[in-house]
Structure 1
């Protein structure tokens, strides 16, 4: 099974990402510190749910108010290359524990599991074969989740991966075939819809990796290209009740004199982005995190609103702290208080021969 190449080691060049005019600001020193590792073959994620080697851990609020954590390619072995590894993706663990508690995040259940037992993938995955839509699919990778207490429904945005090995200006990078939405009305069984936002043949479509945040009647969708490559970040919004209606998505665009909704999307930022993560905090602050693939650091920005000016990057976790790091997903219970920011950070390291030596997720705490 071929796997995606992460860019943490490549990014050590220190070349800065291109930032939209007016948003350039010097990066601050690292702010976040390691709190705990939350997945691994030696932890209860394996003994209880057979979640040993895994990545991402994207946290979002469930319809009952607790937190679901979406994991990508998951194995019952410490890392992917080992035989009989029980490959699954996506997998969801849950927790009602506040990440700021003394013991950090502690998982209490898994989706589709009554008590303890193997956590299965929550939606169909083609696994290096023909998927449910008749298209070749290497795997399914979650990008974000969102829930609607009014209806009890949850949605997960995901990528259907076409290959891990597309050539590009920054080296090998993965190519998604399309971005999609899946839903569940029972909190466990996610159904992949027929909605597809197809990637372009040259892998440059900027609507492939989504992060979603609701504010009132609208869901705001921030998206970038697949593969952690150079490109724009785009912003759209859609009424929360119409997320299955592509025509209802409005772009945030510049017409040459001002910004406005209902236009073709214009880049709100430019850079070499990893997966974006955006959350609206309780005090109304909007926070964004992503891996800056040019510097190898996980950084954050803040804004007064989704369509307002974003601050310059603040470095939270460096590649020196966590070699081969990626992710950097904001916990929705984060705050602007000191050490009130909680990030899920993935690590996948290999030895010189290419064998994995670590593949897991850790919790970091920092400040915005």
Structure 2
């Protein structure tokens, strides 16, 4: 497995629905809204001693069907970082830890269990993963990376959107950092075992399909899906919606688009933003504010935007975490129990630092606290 998918590359030009928005370049010492609260994973923490989750990334939080929070982790190891030592180092993805603790508590996020484990013990991956081999559908698959999760109390079902990774090959300083083969959905009716469905949103040979990295948020009967290309490359962010009970019907997804005079649903998607985005995260907060977070790949900062609704105009970027505050970061996944008040926005942020020779020095997830 090559170790280049988390590098920060390229230029970004960001446009809003109504007008162009030019991002402000962050300089050393630039003000940021969020501060570090605690490290959540690592070989020296109970995530390893209890569930063998040492080196890992992402930590995407979503509300489970029972009201607690599941945290989805990507490539996970029982060593501090992906290359070991020792090897083999129990590579798994995705893995889920769970918590009922509010992230605003004095001690921050505290995990109390892992999916597919009764008490303590090795946390296995949630679904089939090809692991540098032939995947469940007969195609080459390097790994399976979660994009987001969502649950439905009406049925007790959970869904995970994911990418099937074709390769981690870098496209150079202005190219993509990885290529997904397709985006897919997996479901669970017991909160532990996830089944990958036959549904596939195929990428193309040029790696330019804009429906590969998803984030999902429900409001009423609708699930709103924001998506970008894989690999942190220049491209559009698209918005679709689908009724919550028709997520498995690809024909039921409606695009949000511009027809030359106005915006509307049921049209081919028109970009709501364009730029070089990291993995997006969108959540509707308790006060109704919609917040979007992502890595701005020109500044290396985790930034947020807000809007009054999913199909409304998004504000300019607000810097939450800078690379001078926390180097080699990515992610920026919004906790669904966040609020827009001061110190009410909770972000799960990944860090992967390496020496010039490529050897890792840190590979973990931390909690940051800011304001929307």
Interval of TM-score (by shorter of Structure 1 and Structure 2): over 0.9
Classify 1:353/1:232 alpha carbon distance in 2 versus 1 (closer, same or farther; 3 Å). same
In the TM superposition, residue 2 of structure 1 has moved relative to its aligned partner by 2.0
In structure 2, distance between residues paired with 1:193 and 1:203: 22
1:146-177 Cα shifts (integer Å, max 9, x gaps): 00000000000000000000525614510000
In structure 1, distance between residues paired with 2:147 and 2:175: 22
In structure 2, distance between residues paired with 1:169 and 1:67: 37
**Per the alignment, in what secondary structure is the counterpart of residue 58 of structure 1?**
strand
In the TM superposition, residue 17 of structure 1 has moved relative to its aligned partner by 2.9
Which segment drifts farther, 298-307 or 20-29?
20-29
Aligned CA-pair RMSD: 1.3
Residue number in structure 1 paired with 2:227: 223
Aligned residue among 11, 21, 24 for 1:24: 21
Residue number in structure 1 paired with 2:93: 89
In the TM superposition, residue 128 of structure 1 has moved relative to its aligned partner by 0.2
Aligned residue among 224, 241, 245 for 1:241: 245
Determine whether 1:3 maps to 2:3. Answer: yes
On the 8 A contact 2:13/2:23 being kept in 1, the answer is no
Aligned residue pairs: how many? Answer: 364
On the 8 A contact 2:175/2:233 being kept in 1, the answer is no
When normalised by structure 2's length, the TM-score is: 0.96
Aligned residue among 207, 214, 218 for 1:210: 214
In structure 2, distance between residues paired with 1:235 and 1:169: 28
In structure 2, distance between residues paired with 1:72 and 1:26: 29
On the 8 A contact 2:4/2:170 being kept in 1, the answer is no
In structure 2, distance between residues paired with 1:286 and 1:269: 15
In structure 2, distance between residues paired with 1:45 and 1:204: 36
In structure 2, distance between residues paired with 1:194 and 1:169: 35
On the 8 A contact 2:176/2:230 being kept in 1, the answer is no
Aligned residue among 348, 357, 362 for 1:358: 362
**Per the alignment, in what secondary structure is the counterpart of residue 48 of structure 2?**
helix
Determine whether 1:61 maps to 2:63. Answer: yes
Pairing of 1:319-330 with structure 2 (within 5 A): 319-330=323-334
> Unaligned stretches of 5+ in structure 2?
25-29
Which segment drifts farther, 80-89 or 241-250?
80-89
1:163-197 Cα shifts (integer Å, max 9, x gaps): 00052561451000000000000000000000000
In the TM superposition, residue 98 of structure 1 has moved relative to its aligned partner by 0.3
Residue number in structure 2 paired with 1:190: 194
Residue number in structure 2 paired with 1:103: 107
In structure 1, distance between residues paired with 2:253 and 2:51: 38
Residue number in structure 2 paired with 1:147: 151
On the 8 A contact 2:305/2:316 being kept in 1, the answer is yes
In structure 2, distance between residues paired with 1:323 and 1:26: 20
1:323-358 Cα shifts (integer Å, max 9, x gaps): 110000000000011010000000000011110000
Pairing of 1:268-307 with structure 2 (within 5 A): 268-307=272-311
In the TM superposition, residue 25 of structure 1 has moved relative to its aligned partner by 6.0
**Per the alignment, in what secondary structure is the counterpart of residue 91 of structure 2?**
coil
In structure 2, distance between residues paired with 1:17 and 1:294: 9
In structure 2, distance between residues paired with 1:297 and 1:162: 27
**Per the alignment, in what secondary structure is the counterpart of residue 257 of structure 1?**
coil
In the TM superposition, residue 19 of structure 1 has moved relative to its aligned partner by 2.2
Residue number in structure 1 paired with 2:163: 159
Residue number in structure 1 paired with 2:27: none
On the 8 A contact 2:182/2:212 being kept in 1, the answer is yes
> Unaligned stretches of 5+ in structure 1?
none
In structure 2, distance between residues paired with 1:95 and 1:4: 31
On the 8 A contact 1:7/1:296 being kept in 2, the answer is no
Pairing of 1:17-56 with structure 2 (within 5 A): 17-20=13-16, 22-24=19-21, 27=24, 29-56=31-58
**Per the alignment, in what secondary structure is the counterpart of residue 173 of structure 1?**
coil
